[in-house]
Chain A
Amino acid sequence: MPPHDPRLPANVRLGEHARISGQDSFKRFRSERDVALSMGERSCAEDVKFAIGRLGHIAIGSDCYLNDCILLAELEIRIGNHVMIGWNTTVSDSDFHPIAPAERIQDAIALSPLSEGMPRPAALCKPVIIEDDVFIGPACTILKGITIGAGAFIEPGSVVTHDVPARAHVGGNPAAIVPAGRDE
């Protein structure tokens, strides 16, 4: 493993020739895990925002290229090898806020400037898994609990609400399988 880059948080582990560049990559990085973010050999994250909660963890494989996207992990986001993610894409493993109306009021109160430090009610979190060789186009949204199977191709602008099978080609909002031959 290469020596630790002092500009990065102490709990970030980079493989050989992996690199992270950008101004605001760690603005919302709050993880207290021993290893909050790991990135494999040669992987590159340009202007990627790593918004990781106190208990969150993101693991990225080798030979990945991520550009100007947002990864929000309260629990876990796992990304395989040779994965490409385009600009303005958001990957999140949580709902951000509770669904039930009464709990949501509690959350709104806890978030207000009048209630600094008040604990927030829990929002539902489920890990996101993106397997090897997945391509995710620009402006996509990947919701919590999603598994995207190896080699899948996600069209630009898709909102992925259900698991995607390996090698599938999906697009739209909500993302659905694109009929074969549409762009061949």
Chain B
Amino acid sequence: MTPGRKLAHDWHDGVIPENVVFDETNVIDTSYSFRRFKSRMSDALTLGRGSAIYANSGFDLGPDARVTIGAFTMINGAEIVCDEAIRIGDYGLISWNVLLMDNYRVPSSIVERRAYIDAILQNRLRAIHLQTKAKPIVIGENVWIGHDSVVLPGVAIGNGSIVGARSVVVESIPDSVVAAGNPARVIRRLSD
């Protein structure tokens, strides 16, 4: 690992943060993926053996966020918004424009929402302490998430399952099924 952790052939002039754990079996296309990376945790992002972060994937991690990605998992242009924990198992296939978020990052009460909008408009978002609670996302092994899907806070997806393209996953999905739609429903069981 080079000091400053610059990638070879990176079109973006940036570095991989120190608390990202990866090795020579991994591919990261560009440091641009870390432009919104603010985690101060140790091992804030861990990449399993042979996993890859392609294209315009993004890691929007808050100060206390920790993301774990399993072996042979491909993140192909997905956005990961995390304030607490997101775990993706081995052999995962996460398609383009998929959004995984463990926190809405917007208050549900109207009064707090007004304060939040004011903070954005006055460009002092960093000063505001969001009271919305993150709820970790757990994605099992061998899960394929189709393009443009959204996985909402607190969702678990079981081993071997598939999420159809453009789905919105609002509640947990069991092992070995195909789920699709908005909100996502189980539409078929998969046999081995």
Contacts and interface: CB of A to CB of B under 8 A. Distances in A.
A44 B121 contact: yes
A61 B152 CA distance: 30
Given A135-B106, A153-B108, A65 B117 contact: yes
B183 A172 contact: yes
Contact of A84 (B117, B153, B168, B171): B117
Interface string A74-96: 00000000101000000000000
Interface string A169-184: 1011100001000110
Contact of B114 (A43, A63, A156, A158): A63
What is the size category of the interface that chain B forms with chain A? 20 to 34
A132 to B, nearest CB: 9
A64 B118 CA distance: 9
Interface string A120-156: 0000000000000101011100000000000101011
Contacts of A159: 182
B170 interface: yes
A183 B108 CA distance: 10
Interface string B36-58: 00000000000000000000000
Interface string B149-164: 0101110000000000
Contacts of B104: 137, 183
A42 interface: yes
Contacts of B1: none
Contacts of A53: none
A46 B106 CA distance: 18
Contacts of B121: 42-44, 63, 65
B150 A139 contact: yes
A8 B27 CA distance: 45
B182 A172 contact: yes
A138 B99 CA distance: 11
Best-buried of B108, B135, B154, B171 by chain A (most CB within 10 Å): B108
Interface string A44-60: 10000000000000000
A50 B9 CA distance: 38
Nearest to A169: B108
A82 B107 CA distance: 13
B104 to A, nearest CB: 8
A64 B117 contact: yes
Contacts of A156: 99, 150, 152, 168
Nearest to A64: B117
Contacts of B135: 183
B182 A84 contact: no
Residue from B150, B154, B182 whose CB has the most chain A CB atoms within 10 Å: B182
17 contacts: A42-B121, A63-B117, A65-B120, A82-B110, A82-B114, A82-B117, A84-B106, A133-B110, A139-B150, A151-B110, A155-B168, A157-B150, A157-B182, A171-B182, A172-B168, A183-B135, A183-B153
